[in-house]
Chains A and B, each alone.
Chain A
Amino acid sequence: MISFALTDEQNQVRDTLTAFAENELAPRARSADQARGAPAELLDTAWSLGFTGLSIPEGCGGGGARRSHLTGALMLEALGYGCAGLAGAALSSMLFVNPLIDLGSEEQKLRYLPAFCGETRCAASLALHEAASGVDLAGMATRAERSGTGWIMTGAKRLVPMGEGANHLLVLARASHAPGLAGIRAFIVGTDAAGVTITPERGTIGLTALGFARVEFAGVRLEGDAVLGGGDGADIRPLLASLRIGGAALATGLARAVTDFAIPYAKQRVAFGEPIARKQSIAFMLADMHIECDAMRWMVWKAAAEADAGRDATRASVLARNYVNRHAFKIADDGLQIFGGHGYIRDLPLEMWLRNMRMLTIHDAIAAA
């Protein structure tokens, strides 16, 4: 049955996080961008809202709420509206927690998830990208090879969000010769394991609040049950779908922020005797920004609803990601254009939003819905 009706809980989550984004994230966006990191006390405050543990099963100490990609997408869009960088930082642990809830074995859930249900913030992340150019996940170079009852991991991951402070990482690596994605698995790796080296990246164009890291694995020994899902490991395609939905949701929130920021400016900025918003070249640009903000949101919702219904969300999430990537960056770009020279100056957030949007529309592992 086709319906766009959110549940009461979803409305509540969205309202709470929208307020948090406006009151707590947006005012700190610029300073976090310059500091290249999120303030610890802000992350603690975000943690205290309890959203990371919301859908962790009660048996693991969590809230036991029904796991919903749509709720995750709503949270990310709401926070992304305030600041995509701080949003990603505040919810980075979900990159580890959500795949564990979805794909982890019972033993893995019981072993790792309770740490995310307490009052003390527990940092974790996910490592996907590598140094080679091009987007060919199946061709990744990081390998996990069977060794006795365990695994040995070798390789290097790049641009790992919140990598430096993370206690645990979910690391994608080639685990067998099975063709394409069938040979890729996700591994649970403690950052204190011997052979793991984490160093800060030199810098990124945007989302700098996420403090990206480079993580090297020099023959890291992992236990046999380190593979996500246990046994031979879970198919990672649902994990990839969750990442696509998460990134697209953040980008949608940021795109909406750009649009809402540009509208009052265009009405107030006068050129040739009238507000520029009364000129069709600007008014139509704003109309298109609004149109695509709507369309992007529904694409994200559809992919999330597919996942929530237990269906394979690969296709819907690829379509959503494709669509959002093509439109969200243009919105950030057009938003800057409406402000003209002021958009280029760092007093206003437009240039930062453009840099952040470039990250969101190319980096594939910023958030998990």
Chain B
Amino acid sequence: MVDFSLSDPDRAVLDGVAAEAKAGEKYARHYDDHEEEVLPKSFPEASGFPPIQQRLRGRSGHDTPMLVLQVLMRIEREAHCGVPLRQPPTALGNAALDAAGTAVQKARWGHLMLAMSITEPGAGSDTKAIQTTARLDGDAWVLNGDKIFVTNGVRCDGTIVWATVDKSAGRGGIKSFLVMKGTPGFELVRKERKLGIRASDTAAYAFRDCRVPRDHLIGGDESVPRGEREGSASYKGVLKTFNMTRPFVAAGGIGKALGAFRFARDRLAEAGIVVDVDEGPTCRSAAAQALLDIEADIEAATLTVLRAAWLASQGKPNNLEASVAKAKGGELCRSGPQRAMEALGAMSLSHDYPIEQYLRDGRITDIYEGTGQIQRLVIAREILGYSSEELT
């Protein structure tokens, strides 16, 4: 039966997540102002909150599917303008290892924090255009190239690097490799300075004749498939991980819009401007109408994300829906805080209030893990039945 309500235990989980996120608000402005600092593994306040695994223990199997609840947790967390009290032990590279690594590789490296190095100065959304090369030399792969926008690249233990072993093979030649920090020829060039999400570190890497052992090829398959539509198993495996991560990324943007909305709603209420849903639109002020529009946009984006996560939880394909969710979340991370600030007026610009940070922090959602335009490409190809060559 169609249902959008939460059980009391699940509500309690979300309330707990919200309380913990709220406790991290006191550090938000500091790390926004001090981008060069890396967050500690945990803050003292963390001891006041049980680890999330503990909160989730004892949930009924008949309750909201775990993936769906996780999306809601992300929204609730990001709706607060704060830093995480505990740093997560894993990163995007771990998801790639899980999706495409061999059993031996997972057992060997699963406990490490692994970043993911895909983007290059000349290759962003068009991943098959990457220039970093990997050449087999004896029992080692030799990597050469530059990587940028590596999330958690400063803090991680190592990184999964995308490189081509044969440029003539297109995406069939793209493989991923594990490179540990400290490997000769692997240099952390800089930490980027950003519009927002400054508490999250973003690195640039250089690989110069960087030798990694032969068995560090993720998935272990050295063959190079030919043909336009082919992609290597590890390339496909990693892309598949995005089906799972896109709804979560979208949830982040929704959370930021929700935080900005709540702030604007509460401030405007103090000024006597509230949305009365029994009133017709002609009775409503422009500011109240803006609040209603934002609330509807948040609801709609949230539902697309829940849909994508719910499909995954049922073991159903969700490639299309994950892109729909990401497109909506990306749109909302821009329009939500923008409109909320406009409704509030000039003081929304001030560092006295968090709302300008919601705009800056949220803005990344429409860019990373596939821009809104890439999502529309994916969606258009799917509904039109076009390949990536037929619609570029």
A contacts, CB < 8 Å to B: 1-7, 10, 70, 134-138, 180-181, 237, 263, 266-267, 277-278, 280, 283-284, 286-288, 290-291, 294-296, 298-299, 301-302, 304-306, 309, 314-316, 318-320, 322-323, 326
Decide if B377 touches A283 in the complex (CB within 8 Å): yes
B168 interface residue per 8 A CB criterion: no
Decide if A135 touches B281 in the complex (CB within 8 Å): yes
Which chain A residue has the least Cβ–Cβ distance from B375? A287
Which chain B residue has the least Cβ–Cβ distance from A137? B280
Which chain B residue has the least Cβ–Cβ distance from A290? B383
Which chain B residue has the least Cβ–Cβ distance from A266? B384
Most buried by B among A267, A286, A294, A323: A294
Decide if A299 touches B299 in the complex (CB within 8 Å): yes
Decide if B278 touches A278 in the complex (CB within 8 Å): no
- A295-B300, A295-B304 known; A319 vs B65 contact (CB < 8 Å): no
Tell me which residues across on chain A come within 8 A of B297, comparing CB atoms.
323
- A286-B383, A299-B303, A323-B299 known; A3 vs B391 contact (CB < 8 Å): no
Most buried by B among A2, A3, A326: A2
**The residue from B63, B310, B379, B384 contacting A4, defined by CB atoms under 8 A apart:** B310
Which chain A residue has the least Cβ–Cβ distance from B311? A4
Tell me which residues across on chain B come within 8 A of A299, comparing CB atoms.
296, 299-300, 303
Tell me which residues across on chain A come within 8 A of B282, comparing CB atoms.
134-136
Decide if A283 touches B384 in the complex (CB within 8 Å): yes
B interface secondary structure, majority: helix
Most buried by B among A301, A315, A319: A319
Tell me which residues across on chain A come within 8 A of B64, comparing CB atoms.
1-3
Tell me which residues across on chain B come within 8 A of A286, comparing CB atoms.
380, 383-384
Which chain A residue has the least Cβ–Cβ distance from B385? A267
**The residue from B63, B281, B293, B380 contacting A1, defined by CB atoms under 8 A apart:** B63
Decide if A3 touches B310 in the complex (CB within 8 Å): yes
Q: What are 14 A-B contacts with C-beta separation under 8 Å? A: A2-B3, A2-B65, A2-B69, A2-B310, A3-B3, A70-B2, A136-B280, A180-B279, A263-B384, A278-B386, A287-B383, A291-B376, A302-B4, A323-B299
Bound form: Cα–Cα A137–B284 in Å: 13
Decide if B280 touches A305 in the complex (CB within 8 Å): no
Decide if A4 touches B299 in the complex (CB within 8 Å): no
Decide if B299 touches A302 in the complex (CB within 8 Å): yes
Instruction: Give min CB distance, A288 to chain B, whole Å.
Output: 7
Which chain A residue has the least Cβ–Cβ distance from B10? A1
Decide if B383 touches A263 in the complex (CB within 8 Å): yes
Which chain B residue has the least Cβ–Cβ distance from A317? B277
Tell me which residues across on chain B come within 8 A of A323, comparing CB atoms.
296-297, 299-300
Interface residues of B in 277-320 (CB under 8 A from A): 277-283, 292-293, 295-297, 299-301, 303-304, 306-307, 310-311
Decide if B391 touches A6 in the complex (CB within 8 Å): no
Which chain A residue has the least Cβ–Cβ distance from B298? A319
Bound form: Cα–Cα A4–B321 in Å: 13
Instruction: Give min CB distance, B122 to chain A, whole Å.
Output: 21
B390 interface residue per 8 A CB criterion: yes
Which chain A residue has the least Cβ–Cβ distance from B320? A290
**The residue from B278, B295, B327 contacting A181, defined by CB atoms under 8 A apart:** B278
Which chain B residue has the least Cβ–Cβ distance from A301? B2
